[in-house]
């Protein structure tokens, strides 16, 4: 049985239209999938960047805090005395630094809790060192016999922390 030319043209047009519709739908689906993948990659890149920045900010704040302790203890050791002003100034500075430390720590916790857990001991250590430095400054102000030894220990602890920060934090900044 022979197909009439009109029917062949209609079938051909129908097949062509169906192929066009399927092709259009497939292209749209593929483009949508590519856009979703692109958005997902951009989101992951942003999260990694934010996390690296949060770790770097925390390291900077830790170093600044340790440097404050090292600097004030050095100044009092070299001057041979501490004053009420020195103690009050350190107290104000340290309170602000603790706030900055905890803020940086919470930013990191929101981005990556496992990294937060890894840096928390460093933050706790810095806070404990600040309390020790305050106590050593107070002992120096009151002219306690072991005040200079306390200040030297605080100064050395702060210096050690400053040296440790890059080593302990560098691995956290590596790109996965």
**Where does the pLDDT of residue 33 fall: very low under 50, low under 70, confident under 90, or very high at 90 and above?**
confident
Q: What whole-number distance in Å separates Cα of residue 152 and Cα of residue 117?
A: 30
Calculate mean pLDDT across residues 117-143.
95
**Where does the pLDDT of residue 94 fall: very low under 50, low under 70, confident under 90, or very high at 90 and above?**
very high
Q: Residues 141, 87: contact at Cβ < 8 Å?
A: yes
More confident residue, 42 or 82: 82
Q: How many other CB atoms are found less than 10 A from the CB of residue 58?
A: 26
Give the length of the chain.
Answer: 176
Calculate mean pLDDT across residues 50-58.
92
- Structure tokens given for 135: 């106590």
Torsion over CA: 151, 156, 160, 163 (sign): positive
Question: For all residues of the chain together, what is the average pLDDT?
Answer: 88
Note the pTM of the prediction, 2 decimals.
0.75
- Check residue 14 and give its pLDDT: 79
**Does domain 50-173 bear CATH number 1.20.120?**
yes
More confident residue, 160 or 17: 160
Q: What whole-number distance in Å separates Cα of residue 26 and Cα of residue 19?
A: 10
Calculate mean pLDDT across residues 150-168.
95
- Structure tokens given for 73: 């203890």
Q: Residues 58, 105: contact at Cβ < 8 Å?
A: yes
Residues of the chain above pLDDT 90, percent: 64
Residue-by-residue DSSP string for 34-100: HHHHHHHHHHHHHHHHHHHHHHHHHHHHHHHHHHHHHHHHHHHHHHT---HHHHHHHHHHHHHHHHH
- Check residue 21 and give its pLDDT: 81
Largest Cα separation within the chain, whole Å, is 118
- Check residue 90 and give its pLDDT: 95
**Where does the pLDDT of residue 176 fall: very low under 50, low under 70, confident under 90, or very high at 90 and above?**
low
Helix (H, G, I), strand (E, B) or coil at 117: helix
Calculate mean pLDDT across residues 127-136.
97
C-alpha 51: how far from chain center? 5
- Check residue 63 and give its pLDDT: 95
More confident residue, 1 or 155: 155
C-alpha 159: how far from chain center? 22
Q: What are phi and psi of 144, to 5 degrees?
A: -65, 145
36 has pLDDT over 70: yes
Of 68, 60, 51, residue with least CA distance to 158: 68
């Amino acid at each position: 049985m022979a197909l009439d030319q009109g029917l062949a043209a209609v079938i051909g047009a129908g097949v062509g239209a169906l192929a066009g519709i399927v092709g259009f739908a497939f292209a749209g689906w593929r483009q949508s999938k590519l856009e979703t993948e692109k958005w997902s990659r951009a989101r992951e890149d942003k999260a990694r960047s934010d996390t690296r920045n949060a770790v770097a900010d925390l390291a900077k704040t830790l170093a600044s805090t340790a440097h404050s302790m090292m600097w004030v203890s050095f100044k009092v050791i070299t001057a041979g005395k501490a004053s009420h002003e020195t103690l009050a100034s350190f107290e104000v500075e340290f309170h602000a630094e603790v706030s900055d430390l905890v803020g940086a720590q919470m930013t990191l916790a929101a981005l990556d809790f496992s990294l937060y857990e890894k840096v928390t001991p460093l933050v706790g250590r810095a806070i404990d060192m600040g309390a020790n430095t305050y106590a050593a400054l107070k002992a120096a102000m009151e002219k306690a016999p072991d005040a200079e030894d306390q200040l030297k220990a605080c100064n050395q602890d702060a210096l050690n922390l400053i040296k440790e920060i890059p080593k302990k934090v560098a691995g956290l900044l590596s790109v996965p």
